[in-house]
Amino acid sequence: MNAFVLAAGFGKRMGSLTQNTPKPLLQIQSITLLDYALYLLHSWKIQKGWINAHYLGEQILTHVKNFTGFPIEVSIEKDKILGTAGGIRTALPQDSNSEPILLINPDTLFFPNPEFTPKQYLASGIKIHLYLLPIPKGENYTQIFIRKDGVLEFGKGEFYYIGLSVIDPSCLSSLEKNQYYDLSDTFRECAKKGEITGEIFPGEVLDLGTKELWETYQSKDIFGSNIMNIKSFLRRTNMT
């Protein structure tokens, strides 16, 4: 399976932390968000990856240039940011439309149960599969309802999308390359057609979306005993 890492955002909610550093390269316990995403992808046997970048994108390109875990292509959106769907549509080659790809947003740290591996195939007639969790109290995420057949409905329900999904790239084929499109619009369009399914993510996630949250976790042991495995992986793949 191949994967796409969404790394083109401005990171504005991080305030001064992203003034000179793109958010995917911010570090927690000396591990960048992007490095941890690559570690997870490697553990899930990903064969090839794409990363889209815009804000301070050359830093991301330089950061991964010696990575040996699996082949990576970096798509830098130089003229303008293309959004999540626009970035994927523009970066992926035309012949990649035949197989589903895994999408991961490095803004969130995922801590899956040991037996978890993402879906490699989508059911017949399904274009997208989302991983979800219950909406935390006080949070204003888009509400998602999981029907008994696994098909999702948006605008109601107790779950939210965590930033990990499997997508058939053909559902983006009607979009014009090098133009801005938001993936949430594609999700809703597929939901209207009954073409999007989901399941509860078997594990925990950590949202580091704001400067305040980031600073809260700086003094905590986020990765636990797994940090040695992560650092070993980064050394083996020429990331340190």
Give the pLDDT confidence of 148-165 residue by residue, as tens digits. 999 999 999 999 999 999
**pLDDT band at residue 208, thresholds of 50, 70 and 90?**
confident
Q: Is 163 left (phi over 0), alpha (psi -120 to 50) or beta?
A: left
What is the predicted pLDDT for the residue at 236? 96
How much is the mean pLDDT over the chain? Answer: 95
Comparing CA positions, the residue from 130, 233, 105, 111 lying closest to residue 187 is: 130
What is the predicted pLDDT for the residue at 210? 84
CB under 8 Å to 157, separation ≥6 — which residues?
143, 144, 145, 146
Vertex 201 angle, CA 39 and 154, to 5°:
120
Can you tell me the mean pLDDT for 112-138? Answer: 95
| 98 has a pLDDT exceeding 80 | no
What is the predicted pLDDT for the residue at 11? 92
What is the predicted pLDDT for the residue at 63? 97
User: How many Cα atoms sit within 13 Å of 174 on the Cβ side?
Assistant: 3
What residue spans of 17-142 are helical by DSSP H? Answer: 33-43, 57-64, 83-91
SS3 214: helix
What is the predicted pLDDT for the residue at 198? 98
What is the predicted pLDDT for the residue at 180? 97
Comparing CA positions, the residue from 24, 179, 186, 160 lying closest to residue 105 is: 24
CA distance 150 to 178: 33
**pLDDT band at residue 9, thresholds of 50, 70 and 90?**
very high
pTM above 0.85, yes or no: yes
Can you tell me the mean pLDDT for 104-108? Answer: 94
Q: Which residues pair with 2 in a beta bridge?
A: 48, 101
What is the predicted pLDDT for the residue at 96? 67
What is the predicted pLDDT for the residue at 213? 85
**pLDDT band at residue 94, thresholds of 50, 70 and 90?**
confident
What is the predicted pLDDT for the residue at 14? 92
| 95 has a pLDDT exceeding 80 | no
How far is CA 202 from its chain centroid?
16
Model pLDDT for residues 53-91, shown as the tens digit of each residue:
999 999 999 999 999 999 999 999 999 999 999 999 999
Neighbouring CB atoms inside 10 A of 142's CB total: 14
| 178 has a pLDDT exceeding 70 | yes
